[in-house]
Amino acid sequence: AWRSPEPQAEYDVVVVGAGGHGLATAYYLARNHGVTRVAVLERGWLGGGNTGRNTTIIRSNYLREPSSAIYELSRGLYETLSQDLHFNIMFSPRGVMMLCQTEHELRAMKRTESANRAAGIDTELGSPAQVKRICPILETRGPRFPVLGGLWQPRGGTARHDAVAWGYARAASALGVDVIQNCE
């Protein structure tokens, strides 16, 4: 578990929000830069905000080059995060496929595929037959909305976001970071 310290009068860095982003920021400040006089303030409980409501999908399919770069870096961190944090975040690198069921979605996914490939991210927009090969149990013909294609990112996966928050909190706390819950 992580420590539950009383707030100090002064910190070098104060991070607002004990979700995945806030806790990761504190952890990497301490681990990579030696900044340990850090407080992570959370008005509720650890991981109880957006992190607790988030999906489990880990992917990097975004359109703009800066977004693609940071999401691909982040996606790559998940590959060794359980080992780095010494905490099982339940990462499963099974790939991620986003389905297209309208012509508008198909056009948008073609654009995303092009942007990802330009950024060097392994992504493929597959036909209904290719989607079916990857996921044989999927009914691609309907009955209501047929699958027109699928954007496949083989290095994507899933992880438990609450476990990510707990792992970062535990590791940051062990490095001297104060994680303070119920602190509005």
The reported pLDDT for the residue numbered 95 is 93
State the pLDDT confidence band at 3, using cuts at 50, 70 and 90.
confident
What is the distance, to the nearest Å, from the Cα of residue 157 to the centroid of all Cα atoms in its chain? 9
The reported pLDDT for the residue numbered 184 is 81
| Structure-model confidence comparison of residues 14 and 46, the more confident one | 14
The reported pLDDT for the residue numbered 166 is 95
Cis upstream peptide for 143 (omega within 30°)? yes
Query: pTM of the prediction?
Result: 0.86
pLDDT of 55 above 80: no
What's the mean per-residue pLDDT of the chain? 92
Q: Tens digits of per-residue pLDDT, 132-171?
A: 999 999 999 987 889 999 999 999 999 999 999 999 999 9
Least Cα distance to 167 among 71, 92, 84, 75 occurs for: 84
The reported pLDDT for the residue numbered 54 is 77
Contacts of 119 (CB under 8 A, 6+ apart): 65, 68, 69, 72
Across 92-102, b (16+ Cβ under 10 Å) vs e yields eeebbbbbbbe
State the pLDDT confidence band at 61, using cuts at 50, 70 and 90.
confident
pLDDT of 99 above 90: yes
How far apart CA 55 and CA 64 sit, in angstroms, is: 22
Q: If 0-12 CB within 10 Å is exposed, 13-18 middle and 19+ buried, where does residue 123 land? A: buried
Q: Tens digits of per-residue pLDDT, 67-79?
A: 888 888 988 999 9
